[in-house]
Amino acid sequence: MTVFPTLKRAGAAGIAAVLLAGCTMIPQYKRPAPPMAKAWPAYANTGQPVLENQLAADLGWADFFTDPRLKALIAIAIRENRDLRQAAADIRRAQGQFDIQHAGLFPAIGGGGEAIFQGPSGAAGLSFAPGLDTGNPPTFKYYQMGIGVSSYEIDLFGRIRSMSREAAEHALMQRENARAMLISIISQVATAYISWLGDQASLRLSNDTLASQQETLDMVKARFAHGETDEMTVRQTETQVAQSGAFRDESLRRVAQDENLLTLLIGQPIPDNLPPAQPLGQQTIMKDLPPGLPADVLEHRPDIRAAEHDLLAANADIGAAKAAFYPRITLTASDGISSLQPHKLFTSAATTWGVSPQLQVPLLNWGQNSGNLKASRAMRASKAAAYEKTVQSAFREVADALAARDTYRDETGRMDTYVTTTSDAYRLAMLRYRAGTDSYLTSLVSQRSMLQAQQWQISIAVSRYQNLVTLYRALGGGWTEHTPTPVAARGQTPTRKG
């Protein structure tokens, strides 16, 4: 015999209804026109890239960064950073919400059984009835088993599909947010690392300067003891030594603060067995980056993609709000077996079934549905504005980084010349002082100019290479498209038009 035939027929009808209800009331999506120029400003296109036709988004961070110590720190940050762990948890939560919403498209089938044993508190007044045994007192017995579908909504107007699409877009948005977080952490580690290298260079400069000035002070004191110079020169030299000591203390403090920041970013103490650092300026594979076209940023920046998924989710919510104006059909069905005697449960005579379709028609809800639709449309307009602003911010960020790239390159060349000339001036001033043809004040002024030029040189180098990291991030670099889309495999990836 065939058990539960009615439920099979009801289930098949329900699945057919799901397949037939493929349409939704989601408005056709058209990507907003990007509020940006078709090309970068003229000042941003003067550089000659080291690698031709190599977009930043095509370079993973492990390919872009070449300093082994920096790569080790970035790898630790990706593994241990708490913000990235939170972002990964947000992705799993959004995927779970999608699974919950998507499951509403299919009937939830449950099974169960029961046995009833009922007897009176006394035998008086109890008459014979089916299922009543002949015991004293008599007991009523009833046995039942079955499976069924409870309150399954047939999605004729796409309400559940619209909500499922909305949940899918939110899951995709969380994935892009996690990628944006990943790129941000990588760039923060690289930026802090370059600052650490610059402060290390400043510390070496301060130590060398302090040692040199201490030797000069010893020489001046010896000359003062022999009457070859005056006390003013001694005091000026001591002042310069004190200033160099303060500069060294500042450099020590900044190095310690850089290490504290790196510790925070990587999520653990800096290991002692890291590879040695490469000199400042040798952290990346290229000293320039081709910007490509502005449209490339739309496709590769995760914050822009996340904003578009958020817009698509709001667009899908309009479909759900529209479907609320139309009737809902729900289906409750059951199929099973029941009997007063256990040995007759699995017979054809014991088969039972039931189907209960329900129709709900919205007649008068005092503007609730129209209010929901109005709110959904306003939310879509808000998300569209947020998307456009994200695009504009991205365009400005890239343009600023490109402008800084060119000016830093020119400034570096001029600063190298400045350091050379001030160093020569200090060397000549010291020769004249030792020869007795000039006062120590000239040497003091020249040395201050040289030290200031060297500090600026380090500062500009740090800013230049930090800007290169910023440009790499702004152009969408920092990750490669190797991770699977969390919900695309289920047919929920939105189709874009325009």
- pLDDT tens-place string over residues 197-232: 999 999 999 898 888 888 878 887 887 888 777 788
- pLDDT tens-place string over residues 433-442: 778 777 777 8
Please report the pLDDT score of residue 46 as a whole number.
46
Please report the pLDDT score of residue 43 as a whole number.
58
Please report the pLDDT score of residue 266 as a whole number.
92
Q: Give me the CATH topology for the region 1-30+107-154+327-361.
A: Outer membrane efflux proteins (OEP) (2.20.200)
Which comes out higher in pLDDT, residue 290 or 235? 235
How confident is the model over 285-305, as a mean pLDDT?
78
Domain ranges of the chain: 1-30+107-154+327-361, 32-105+156-325+391-490
Which tokens belong to 322? 């529209």
How confident is the model over 375-386, as a mean pLDDT?
94
Confidence of residue 251 (pLDDT cuts 50, 70, 90): very high
Please report the pLDDT score of residue 497 as a whole number.
38
How confident is the model over 461-473, as a mean pLDDT?
91
Confidence of residue 38 (pLDDT cuts 50, 70, 90): confident
Please report the pLDDT score of residue 412 as a whole number.
86
- Which pTM was predicted? 0.78
How confident is the model over 9-32, as a mean pLDDT?
64
Q: Residues near 136 by Cβ (< 8 Å), separated by ≥ 6?
A: 123
Please report the pLDDT score of residue 342 as a whole number.
76
Query: For the ranges 87-96, 131-140, 278-287, which has the lowest average pLDDT?
Result: 131-140
- pLDDT tens-place string over residues 81-127: 888 888 889 999 999 999 988 888 888 888 888 888 777 665 444 44
Which comes out higher in pLDDT, residue 191 or 449? 191
* Side-chain-side CA neighbours of residue 416 (13 Å): 6
Confidence of residue 187 (pLDDT cuts 50, 70, 90): very high
Class of domain 32-105+156-325+391-490: mainly alpha
The rounded mean pLDDT for the chain is 81
φ, ψ at 139 (rounded to 5°): -125, 135
Q: Is residue 19 over pLDDT 50?
A: no
Report the 10 Å Cβ neighbour count for 249. 11
Q: Is the Cβ–Cβ distance between 79 and 300 less than 8 Å?
A: no
Q: Is the Cβ–Cβ distance between 50 and 287 less than 8 Å?
A: yes
- pLDDT tens-place string over residues 303-345: 999 999 999 999 999 999 999 999 988 988 888 888 777 777 7
Confidence of residue 133 (pLDDT cuts 50, 70, 90): low
How confident is the model over 144-150, as a mean pLDDT?
86
Percent of the chain with pLDDT over 70: 84
Confidence of residue 288 (pLDDT cuts 50, 70, 90): low
Please report the pLDDT score of residue 112 as a whole number.
85
Please report the pLDDT score of residue 286 as a whole number.
66
Confidence of residue 364 (pLDDT cuts 50, 70, 90): confident
Which tokens belong to 152? 């399954």
Distance CA(423)–CA(428), nearest Å, equals 9
Which comes out higher in pLDDT, residue 152 or 437? 152
Please report the pLDDT score of residue 121 as a whole number.
60
- pLDDT tens-place string over residues 231-248: 887 888 888 888 888 889
Q: Is the Cβ–Cβ distance between 360 and 354 less than 8 Å?
A: no
